[in-house]
Amino acid sequence: MGFWIYMLIMDLILPFTMIGFGKYFIKKAPKEINGVFGYRTSMSMKNKDTWEFAHRYCGKIWYICGLITLPITVVCMLLLIGKDKDAVGIGGAIMMGIQLVPLIASIFPTEIALRKNFDKNGKRR
């Protein structure tokens, strides 16, 4: 049971991170455009306007995806109660891989929205 609890905690880190950063980015982008913290692509870093737009947009996606993956993760992990360590480990690893999909995939709609709202130089359309 101890390993199951450990895997549950590890599997909940990503959904809670997406919810937390999503809420944070919806409210405000990091103050300065930087290469360390925040949604960093060449288009989002063009200027302050693109930087803030990308963070609000991506933040909404992360928040929603976190809210969706959280209960799915809990249900999937509940199905592993009583299973051996290998089953719990493999199930937890698969769950983490599944959670990474919306996190990484959020780049595509965010970049599309940036290109719809800004020209290649970062000026609003």
C-alpha distances out from residue 19 to 13, 62, 117, Å: 10, 6, 25
Q: Is the residue at 124 inside a domain?
A: no
Q: Which residues contact 70 (CB under 8 A, 6 or more apart)?
A: 12, 15, 16, 19
The Cα–Cα gap between 24 and 107 comes to 17
Q: Is the pLDDT of residue 59 over 90?
A: yes
Whether the CB-CB separation of 65 and 102 falls below 8 Å is answered with yes
Q: Is the residue at 45 inside a domain?
A: yes
Q: Is the residue at 64 inside a domain?
A: yes
* Alpha-carbon torsion angle 116, 124, 30, 16, nearest 10: -20
pLDDT band at residue 2, thresholds of 50, 70 and 90? confident
- For the chain, the average pLDDT equals 94
Q: Is the residue at 125 inside a domain?
A: no
- Arithmetic mean of pLDDT, 41-54: 95
Q: Is the residue at 103 inside a domain?
A: yes
Q: Indicate the number of domains in the chain.
A: 1
Q: Is the residue at 122 inside a domain?
A: no
Token pair listed for 62: 């992360």
Q: Is the residue at 123 inside a domain?
A: no
pLDDT band at residue 119, thresholds of 50, 70 and 90? very high
Which pLDDT value is given to residue 109? 98
Q: Is the pLDDT of residue 125 over 90?
A: no
Whether the CB-CB separation of 14 and 69 falls below 8 Å is answered with yes
> 72-118: per-residue pLDDT in tens?
999 999 999 999 999 999 999 999 999 999 999 999 999 999 999 99
Question: Which of the two residues, 67 and 125, has the higher pLDDT score?
Answer: 67
The residue segments making up the domain with residue 55 are 2-117
Supply φ then ψ for residue 118, to 5 degrees.
Answer: -135, 150
Q: Is the residue at 28 inside a domain?
A: yes
pLDDT band at residue 55, thresholds of 50, 70 and 90? very high
